[in-house]
Structure 1
C-alpha cells in the first residue's frame, strides 16, 4: 500500500470509528442535552484526551500487552462497564429541577467534572483499545516511522475533538434544547437506560481481533 493510500485508508477508518454510536456518543448527547453546550464541549475534550492516552500506550507497545492479556483486558472492560452503569444509574435517580434555561442547566457540571466524565468514559472503553491495536498493527505498515504513527494518533485526536464538539454544539442549540426542555427529566432517564445498556453490552462482549 502506498503512503498516500495508507493515509486515505486510515482517515476513512478513523472517521467511521469516531462517528459510530457508542459510549462516547451517548455521553456527549447526555451532557449536552441535560447540562449545557459548555459541558458537552468539555466532555468532548475529555474524550479526546483519552484518545491521546490510547495512542501513547499503543506506540510504546503496552497496547499489545493489554489486548493479549485476557485478565488485564477483562479488568479494563469491567471497569468501563461499571462506570457507564454508574453514570446511567445517576441519570435514572435524577430528580426534576424545575425550569431550565435553554443554553445552560441550573445544575451544570464544572469544567473539571465534564472533562473527567469524557476522559474516563473513553479511557475505559476496551473497544478503543482494540481499535488502536488493530490500526497500528494491521492497517499501518510496520515500516512506517514512529513519528508518522504519532501524527496518525494526533490526527485521531483532532478528528475526535472536532466531531464531538460539533455534536455538542448541534445538540445543545437553543432551538433543539427548547424542544426537549419540558422533557429534560425524561431525557436524562432515557439516557440513563441507554448508558446502562451500553455498560452491560461492554461487560458481555469478548475481545475480537
Structure 2
C-alpha cells in the first residue's frame, strides 16, 4: 500500500524509514559504542550513546532552523570534513598505540565516585565529538529536513520528528551496547581484546582516510 508523502503517516514513514536505514549503516559511532560497551560496560557506553545523540541533536536543531545546508557553504563544510578526519585519525591512533592489559568491566571492583563521574564525562565527550564532527550527519539531516521544508511541514511536526530521531539514535546505540554484552560475545572479546582494539583503530583510520579523500576532491 502506498502512502502519499503529504499525508501524516506517509511522511512519518518516509522520515522514520530513512533515518532508521541510516542508523543501520555502521560508522565510527557504531564502533565506538561497541568498543566502549565491551571494555567499560553498558553504563559507560550509555554515556557514549548519549553523546552521539546530542551530536546528532545539534544537526537536527540546525536543520530545523534552516541553517544546516552546509553543502552550500563550502568553507564550513570543508572545515567540518577535515576536523572530523583528524578526530577519527586521533581516536584510531589511541587504540592502535594502546599498551598494557585491557580489563573487562568489574575486574577491579567498583570505582571511586568522582572517578566514575570523570570517566562518564570523558565518554560523553567522545561520543559527542564523534557525531558532531561527522560531515555525513550534517548532510543527512540537511537533506532530510530540506525535503520537509519543501512540503511545508509545520514547525511543530518537524520538532516532533527531531525528537523522534534523537530518541531513536540514543535507543538504537544503547540496544547495540546491550547486544554486544551477550556472554558469547564477551567471552570471544576477552580472548582477543587487544586484537579487537587494533581492528577498531584500523577501521577508524580507514574512515578518516575516506573522509580526507572526499575533502580533497569536493
Question: Which of 86, 90, 95 is equivalent to 2:90?
Answer: 86
Equivalence for 1:47: 52
Query: How big is the shift at 1:142?
Result: 3.4
Equivalence for 1:31: 36
Equivalence for 1:74: 78
Unmatched runs of 5 consecutive residues or more in structure 1 = none
Query: How big is the shift at 1:46?
Result: 0.6
1:110 aligns with 2:119: yes
CA-based RMSD of the aligned residues comes to 2.1
> What pairs with 1:125-164 in structure 2 (closer than 5 Å)?
125-139=134-148, 141-164=150-173
What is the DSSP-based 3-state SS (H/G/I as helix, E as strand, rest coil) of the residue aligned with 1:62?
Answer: coil
Q: For each residue in 1:93-140, what CA deviation from the matched residue of structure 2 results, as whole angstroms up to 9, or x when unmatched?
A: 101316x23x34769981001111110000010001000111011256
TM-score by length of 1: 0.90
CA distance in structure 2 between the aligned counterparts of 1:86 and 1:119, rounded to whole angstroms:
15
Query: How big is the shift at 1:206?
Result: 5.4
Structure 1 stretches (4+) deviating beyond 3 angstroms?
Answer: 103-109, 139-142
Change (3 A) 1:5 1:78: same
Unmatched runs of 5 consecutive residues or more in structure 2 = none
CA distance in structure 2 between the aligned counterparts of 1:26 and 1:132, rounded to whole angstroms:
21
Q: In terms of Rg, which structure is larger?
A: 2
1:182 aligns with 2:191: yes
